[in-house]
Amino acid sequence: MDVSARLTELAKLRGTRETPVVSVYLNTRWGDEHQRDRVRVFLKNEIRKARKASTAEGMEADLDWIQAEGDALITQSRFPEAHGVALFACRALGLRDIIPVRVPFESAFVVADAPHLSPLAALLEKTPSALVVFVDGESARLVPLTTEGVGEEVALESEVPGHHRRGGWAQLAQSRYQRHIQDHRGRHFEAVVEALIGLTEGNGVRRILMAGEPRTIAVFQKRLPNRIAERVVGSIAGARHESAAVLVGRAAEFLAHLRGGEGADAVEAVLTEAAKGGRAVAGLEETLEAVARGAVQRLYLLGRFSQPGRLCVECGALQSGDAASCRLCGKPTEAAELGGAIVDRVIAAGGKVETVEIHQALARVGGVAALLRYPL
């Protein structure tokens, strides 16, 4: 599943008060049975409250489906390798979506007239396509990381006694490597570089994390062309006998720490640009204006950002405050949570969303800012 493409499709869906969308996020990575029980109790209580509160047509069927799928996830009879799962249901829209990912969600249960997408959008920005590359003097292992999880590992060795046919990028990487070994016997690193170039450029890999012995990594990286070397974000320890799960665990910890620093730096740059009156805005009113014009390239929100506001029932304009009529067309408005509404519109317009857990400067401007496609 292409989660990014599915997110864009979900952002365009709209139910109604009579036919709402149920959005559920579950953490399916547990350290013990107590954590599993907390998720089970959370889901049971939320479904009970939703059944009691709603008389919407089709809601019972939606909640029955959520209950059944949730039970299967909690017992791990479905997607046992997933660390987090998002579910979306709306009978009127024919919506029954399950999206398993490799990062745990904070559990959430939302019934609204549109899918609740903020957690999924934030996840995509926190888990960009990456590649863990282990290399030593005689072998290499390429382990792709995507939002959905760990991809198919490819092992490359100087002497390959035999191999079976494989498809997709795995076959491309192996064939490049084997051709190079045959033509240049003994030039192991060059062969790995060729396979790495094909995999990186053919699959949109944004980050490469090296694994292995430091001296070997240093020699290997000198052979990388600049366009590939600039995607290398660091290195971790690694040995040939270690499993992919061990390497991926170290890689995930490294990348999480890296993303935290990068996110703070990106917000600082956007706030500076906004202060100059350039291609950025900061603050709720300014961001609402940019969202209305479809100008947001990347939205930055403080974690747990939530702001009550109004939605025009006629023109669809979002506005802060509690005015009963639209500032633009004068028609009636209804209550809306602006955080989720802003996120949905940015995604539907092809923009990106990034959540920042702690940032004092962003908090001072109201918890929201945006990099724009063009100055307003």
Give the model confidence (pLDDT) of 104-156 as tens digits. 888 999 998 889 998 888 877 666 678 999 998 888 999 888 766 677 788 88
Q: pLDDT band for 183, please (50, 70, 90 cuts).
A: low
262-372 carries CATH number 3.30.1330.30: yes
pLDDT band per the 50, 70, 90 thresholds, residue 166: low
CATH 3.30.1330.30 residue ranges of the chain are 262-372
**Nearest partner of 202 among 126, 135, 142, judged by Cα:** 142
Task: Please answer whether residues 169 and 177 qualify as being in contact, where contact means their C-beta atoms are separated by less than 8 angstroms.
Answer: no
Q: Where in the chain is the domain with CATH 3.30.420.60?
A: 126-242
The boundaries of every CATH 3.30.960.10 domain in the chain are: 3-116
Beta carbons within 8 Å of 182's beta carbon, 6+ residues apart: none
Strands of the sheet with 352-356, listed across from one edge:
280-282, 368-372, 296-302, 352-356
Q: In the structure encoding, which two tokens stand for residue 119, read together?
A: 């957690």
Please give the model's pTM, rounded to 2 decimal places: 0.60
Q: Return the pLDDT at 161.
A: 43
Fold annotation for 3-116: 3.30.960
What would the CATH number be for the domain defined by 126-242?
3.30.420.60
**Cα gap 71→75, rounded to integer Å:** 6
